[in-house]
Structure 1
Amino acid sequence: MTPNETQSLLRLMAWLSPAFPVGGFAYSGGLEGAVHDRLVADAAGLKAWFTILLGHGALWTDAVLLSCSVKAEGDPHRLEELSELGLALAGSAERHLETLSLGRAFLTAAQAWPDPVFKALPADCPYPVAVGAVAGAQGIGLQQALAAYLHAGVSQGVSAGIRLGLCGQQAGVALLAALEPLIATTAERAGTAGLDDLGTATVQADIAALRHEMQVSRLFRS
Structure 2
Amino acid sequence: MGIMATTTEEALPPLAPQQLLSLLYLASPSLPIGAFAYSGGLESAIELGWVNDEACLIDWCQGVMGEALGQLDVPVLLRLHRAWQDGDQSAISHWNAFVRANRETRELLFEDEQLGSAMCRLLKGLERLPEWLPERPGFLTLYAATCVNFGIDARQAALTWLWSYLENQVAVACKTIPLGQSKAQQVLMALMPHLEQVLARAERLGDDELGATLPGLAQASAWHETQYSRLFRS
TM-score by length of 1: 0.91
Deviation at 1:113, TM superposition (A): 5.3
Deviation at 1:4, TM superposition (A): 6.0
How many aligned positions are there?
221
Distance in 1, Cα, partners of 2:144 & 2:203: 12
SS of the aligned residue for 1:121 comes to coil
Deviation at 1:112, TM superposition (A): 5.4
SS of the aligned residue for 1:65 comes to helix
The alignment status of 1:92 with 2:105, answered yes or no, reads: yes
Distance in 2, Cα, partners of 1:3 & 1:114: 27
The 5-angstrom pairing of residues 72-83 of structure 1 reads: 72=83, 73=85, 74-83=87-96
- Which digits, 9 at most, give the CA deviation of each residue in 1:37-92, with x for residues without a partner? 11111111110001001110245421112111101023222211111111111111
The alignment status of 1:47 with 2:47, answered yes or no, reads: no
Per the alignment, do residues 129 and 221 of structure 1 end up closer, same or farther by CA in structure 2, a change over 3 Å counting? same
SS of the aligned residue for 1:118 comes to coil
Per the alignment, do residues 23 and 137 of structure 1 end up closer, same or farther by CA in structure 2, a change over 3 Å counting? same
Per mean C-alpha deviation after superposition, the further-off stretch among 140-149 and 184-193 is 184-193
What are structure 1's unaligned runs of at least 5 residues?
A: none
Deviation at 1:107, TM superposition (A): 2.7
Q: State the identity %.
A: 30
TM-score by length of 2: 0.87
1:38 maps to a residue whose letter is G
The 5-angstrom pairing of residues 128-147 of structure 1 reads: 128-147=140-159
Decide whether the 8 Å contact of 2:68 with 2:212 is kept in 1: yes
Deviation at 1:179, TM superposition (A): 0.5
The alignment status of 1:155 with 2:159, answered yes or no, reads: no
SS of the aligned residue for 1:20 comes to coil
2:19 maps to a residue whose letter is S
Quote the RMSD (CA, aligned, Å). Answer: 2.1
Q: Which residue of 1 aligns with 2:23?
A: 12
1:7 maps to a residue whose letter is Q
Deviation at 1:6, TM superposition (A): 1.7
Distance in 1, Cα, partners of 2:163 & 2:151: 20
Deviation at 1:136, TM superposition (A): 2.2
Per mean C-alpha deviation after superposition, the further-off stretch among 5-14 and 92-101 is 5-14
Q: Which residue of 2 aligns with 1:102?
A: 115
1:122 maps to a residue whose letter is P
Per the alignment, do residues 60 and 76 of structure 1 end up closer, same or farther by CA in structure 2, a change over 3 Å counting? same
Distance in 2, Cα, partners of 1:113 & 1:218: 33
The 5-angstrom pairing of residues 56-71 of structure 1 reads: 56-58=67-69, 60-71=71-82
Per the alignment, do residues 63 and 181 of structure 1 end up closer, same or farther by CA in structure 2, a change over 3 Å counting? same
Distance in 1, Cα, partners of 2:62 & 2:15: 32
Q: 1:210 aligns with which of 216, 222, 232?
A: 222
Decide whether the 8 Å contact of 1:143 with 1:188 is kept in 2: no
Per mean C-alpha deviation after superposition, the further-off stretch among 139-148 and 105-114 is 105-114
Distance in 2, Cα, partners of 1:81 & 1:130: 14
Deviation at 1:129, TM superposition (A): 1.8
Distance in 2, Cα, partners of 1:58 & 1:30: 13
What are structure 2's unaligned runs of at least 5 residues?
A: 1-12
